[in-house]
Structure 1
Amino acid sequence: MRVCVITTVHSPSDIRISKELDTLVKAGYDVVYIAQKGKFDNDKVTFWPITVYHDRIKRLIKGSREAFGKALEANADIYHFHDPELIGLGKKLKRHGKKVVYDIHEEYPSVILSKNWIPKILRPVIARLADTYERRAVEKMDGIVVVVPEQLERFSEKKQVAIIPNYPDTIFLESMRTKRDEERVKFVYSGSIDVDRSIKEMIDAFLMLHAKYNIELDLLGPIHDEELRRYITERQKDTDALFYKGVLPYSEAIEVVSDCDVGLMVVHRGRSKEISSPLKMYEYLSLGLPIIASDFKKWHEVLDEKPCALFVDPDSAEDIAEKMEILIKDEKLRSQMRDNAIEISRKYTWKSVEDRLLKLYRSL
C-alpha cells in the first residue's frame, strides 16, 4: 500500500514527521514524501522535493499547487498532510476520491492569537475564521492525528482519530546521555526562539545571576523575530557566557543539550502552549536534565510524578532567576532531579505510541 506524506511548512528532516515516516516504512508501507528541498537522509522513503518559498503567501499558493501536482502523480492509497495551509489541498484530494489524513500539530486558532506578524487587533477575528474553517474541513477528512486529547474538544465526534504525543526516540537519546563534572553550570533552551517563548525573560534572569556564579546559557533553534535577534545580540555584549548556537542538525543539537545541566522550558501563557506535549520536555528528561518550566497544569501531570522540575511564572524574569539560583547552588538537588528525570523518561517513548498511527491507517 502506498502512502503520500505532505508538508510545505516543515523542513524535510522535521523530527515528528521523520518518526512517522520510519514507523510507516517499518510496517511495510511504500512511502512517498513531498516536502521542501533540503537534507533528507532516509533512503527507504521516496523523497520528492518542492520549491522553498520564504514568503508565506507564495508558499500558500505556489507551494500548495506544486505539492498537489506531485501528490496526484504519487497515486497513493492514503494521503497524510501536516500543515493547516494544506487544508485546501486535502479537500481537493478528497474530491478526487482519495483517503486523506490531517495531522494537526497544534491548536492553530490559539497559536494565531500569539503571532506577532499579525496585527493584534486582527488576531481574534482571524483566529475565529481559522477555527471555523478548520473544523469544517476536518469533517471532510477520513482521519486526523492530534498530539494531545484536548485538541479534540474543538471537533465533533470523529471515530478515525490517532492521539500521538511528541514522545522521542529514547534509544538514541540514551546513547547521547552524559554526566557532566564541570564546575560551570550550563543552562540550555532548545526550540523555536520567539517572543512568545519567554526568551527575553530567560536571558534577563540569566544576566541577573551571571556576575555571581560560573554559569552559561546556550540557545538553540531558529529565530523568527528580527527584533528578538537584535536583542540577543545586544545581550551577548553584556556577558561572555551567553551563546546562540543557531539551527543545528538534530543529532548535533542533542549533543549540545546533553552537555548541559538544566533544561529551560519556559513559554508564555496561551491555550495552545498550556495543553501542549513539547518534544523538548521528553528530550530533557531522557537526557537526564532537571527542568525549569512554565507553571502549566498539563506539564505538572508529567513532571510531578517524581520531582524533576521547578515551575515558574513565565512572565517573571525574577522568578526564573530565583529557580535558576536554587539549582546553581544545590548540586545534590540537581543530581536527584537528574535521576528522577531519567526514571520518568522510560514511560515516554515513541515506540509506545507509534502503533496508534498504524491502527488509524488500518481503519481506513
Structure 2
Amino acid sequence: MKILYIWFYSRSFPDYPKVAAVLRERGHEAWVANYDDAGDIVWYRGDELQARVQGPGKTPRSVARIPVLRSLWHWFAFVRFMLRLRGFFRRENADVVHVCPNAARMVWLLPLGMPRHMRFVIDYRQIAQREGRGVIGRLKSGFANSLRVLYCRVFYDRATFLHALGAEKVLGPQWRKWAEVVPLAVDDPFLRLPNDWTRDAGVPVTFLYLGSIARIRKLEQIMAAARQVSTITDNFRLDFIGPDVADGYYHELVKEMGLTRFVRILPPVPYDRVPQTVITYDIALTIVPESPSDWQYQPTIKGIEYRALGMPVIATDFAPNRELVKNAVNGLLVINTPDSIAAAMLRFICEPAFLEQVRADAGAMRDGLTWNEVATQYMDIYKALRDERPAALVALPD
C-alpha cells in the first residue's frame, strides 16, 4: 500500500515520519511532506527527498497593498496549489492520502473527485475548536467549526483525532460514524529508560516544567504558587526548561517576584536528552490553562511521556489528565490557581513519605503506546477504507 502523509506546518512534526518508518519496515511505501523554507511542499522517504510541489507562493507587492485584490490573489493561489497537489497524488497513484490540515485553506479540494481507489483521511492533532468574541468573532469561529464538520462528514473518507473528547467536540455524540481515535505514542526511551529514584537527605525537592516559555501558557500561576511556597519553606527548587518565546518576560517576572533563589528558566534540551533530563527531577508539572479552550480535549504529549517515564506529576484536573494521573497515587490533580498548585507542591515537599510512595506507584504505572502500535491502528483504518465500496464523487480538473 502507498501512503502519502502531508501536514501543513512549517515546524518540525515527528509523528508522521515515525509512523511512516514503521510502515516501510512492514513493506509499505510511505512518504511524508510539509512546507520547506521557500513555502513549497517537499516529500521525503525517510531522509531522502523524493519530490517537490510548488506552494501557493508569496503575494506580489502590487497586490498586497489592496485588501480586496490580496484576498482574491490568496484564494486563486491556494486553489492552484491544491490542484497541483491533486495532480501529484494522481501521478503517484497513492492508496491513502493522510492530511493534517492545520490552518490550510481549500483542503476540501484534495479528495473531491479523485480516483475511486484513493482514500483520504483528515487528521486533527489539535481540534482548534474555539469560540470567537463578539458578533464577528463568533461568526468566523462558527464558520471554521462548520468547515471541520463538513471535512469529516462529507469530503474525507475518515477523520482521526487524538482523543474521544476532541472528536465529540467537533462531530457531536455520534462521532464514531465518521471518525476514529488514534492516541499519541511515545518514543521507546520513555518506556525503557531505568528510573531508579533515590533522594539524599536535606536536598531540596525539585520540580520541573518542560515546554515553551510562552505567555499563552499562563506560567504566572505556577510562579505565584512558587512564591506562596517560598513563604513557608525554602526546601524546593523549580526549573522551567524550554524555548523562550516571551521575549524575556518570565525572566524579569522571576526577579520581580523575588524568586531567583528558587526558580530558574533554562534553555531547551535536545529531544533525545529529554528522558534523561526529566528523571533527574522529583516531580514534573503538566499545568494546562483553561484558554485556549480546545487544549482541554486531548492530553499533552508531556503528560503521556511522564506517565511512560514513571514520573510523579502535578497536573491540571481535566478529563484527559484524569486518564493519566490517579490523584494521590501517581500524582496530584489541581485546579489552575496558585493556591491549589502551591498546596500540591507543599504536600510533596513537607511529606517525604508521600513523595516516596507516589514515586513508587508512578514507577509501577509506567505505560504508553509505541509508534509500532499506533502504526497498526492507522493501517487498520486504511485497510477498512480500502475494503469499503468508495462513494462516487464529482470529478474536478487537475
Residue of structure 1 aligned with 2:139, choices 98, 103, 125: 125
* Structure 1 residues 346 and 90: CA distance shift in structure 2, 3 A: same
Q: 1:163 — aligned with what?
A: 181
Measure how far apart 1:167 and its partner are.
3.3
Residue 149 in structure 1 maps to residue 171 in structure 2: no
AA at the equivalent of 1:200: E
- CA distance in 1 between partners of 2:306 and 2:9 (Å): 26
**2:21 alignment partner, SS class:** helix
What corresponds to 2:27 in structure 1? 28
Instruction: After TM superposition, give the deviation of residue 146 of structure 1 in Å.
Output: 0.8
Cross-structure match for 2:128: 108
CA–CA separation in structure 1 for the residues paired with 2:180 and 2:80: 28
Cα separation, partners in 2 of 1:80 and 1:64, compared to 1, 3 Å: farther
User: CA–CA distance in 1 between the matches of 2:296 and 2:341?
Assistant: 18
Q: Which residue of 2 aligns with 1:116?
A: none
Which residue number corresponds to residue 358 of structure 1? Answer: 379
- Identify unmatched segments of 5+ residues in structure 1: 114-118
User: 1:352–1:30: structure 2 CA closer, same or farther, 3 Å change rule?
Assistant: closer
Which one is further off, 177-186 or 123-132? Answer: 177-186
1:135 aligns with 2:135: no
Aligned to 1:73: 88
* Aligned counterparts of 1:94 and 1:43: Cα–Cα separation in 2: 29
**Counterparts of 2:34 and 2:213, CA distance in 1:** 23
TM-fit CA distance, 1:35: 1.7
**Aligned match for 2:360, one of 335, 339, 346:** 339
TM-score by length of 2: 0.74
Provide closer, same or farther for how the CA distance between residues 320 and 306 of structure 1 changes in structure 2, counting only shifts above 3 A: closer
Distance verdict in 2 for CA 1:231–1:297, change over 3 Å: same
Q: Which residue of 2 aligns with 1:202?
A: 222
The correspondence for 1:99, drawn from 85, 106, 119, is 119
**Cα-to-partner distance string for 1:11-43 (whole Å, 9 max, x where unaligned):** 33x2433443333323322122112448x9983
Task: Name the CA distance, whole Å, in 2 between partners of 1:47 and 1:172.
Answer: 32
| Structure whose CA Rg is larger | 2
Q: CA deviation at 1:122?
A: 4.9
Q: After superposition, give the CA deviation of every residue in 1:240-286 in whole Å (9 maximum; x if it has no partner).
A: 54333344432133332222211111122255333322221121122
SS for the counterpart of 2:104 is: helix
Counterpart for residue 17 of structure 1: 16
Structure 1 pair 10–235 and aligned structure 2 pair: CA distance change class (3 A): same
The structural deviation recorded for 1:134 is 1.0
- The separation in 1 between residues aligned to 2:45 and 2:327, in whole angstroms, is 36
For residues 293 and 96 of structure 1, do their structure 2 counterparts lie closer, same or farther at Cα, with a shift above 3 Å needed? same
Quick one: which amino acid aligns to residue 273 of structure 1? Answer: W
Q: How many residues align?
A: 350
**Letter matched to residue 22 of structure 2:** T
**Paired residue secondary structure (1:86):** coil
Q: Take 1:250 and 1:42, find their aligned partners in 2: how far apart are those partners?
A: 22
Report the counterpart of residue 319 of structure 1 in structure 2: 340
**1:179 shift after superposition:** 2.6
1:238-277 mapped onto 2 (5 Å cutoff): 238=258, 239-269=260-290, 271-277=293-299
Helix, strand or coil at the partner of 1:84 = coil
Higher share of residues assigned helix: 1
Report the 3-state secondary structure (helix = DSSP H, G, I; strand = E; otherwise coil) of the residue aligned with 1:167: coil
Contact 1:82 1:104 in 2 (8 A): yes
Deviation at 1:128, TM superposition (A): 1.3
Find the aligned partners of 1:300 and 1:261 in 2 and give their Cα distance. 20
Cα RMSD for the two superposed structures: 3.7
Partner of 1:43: 46
Q: What do residues 29-79 of structure 1 show as CA deviations (whole Å, max 9, x unaligned)?
A: 2122112448x998367566788x9x9x99x97799768746743523211
Q: Among the aligned pairs, what percent are the same residue?
A: 19
Q: Alpha carbons of 1:94 and 1:109: their partners in 2 closer, same or farther (altered >3 Å)? A: same
- Partner of 1:94: helix, strand, or coil? coil
Change (3 A) 1:356 1:109: same
3-state SS, counterpart of residue 272 of structure 2: helix
The alignment's TM-score, normalised by the length of structure 1, stands at 0.80
Kept in 2: contact 1:31–1:46 (CA 8 A): no
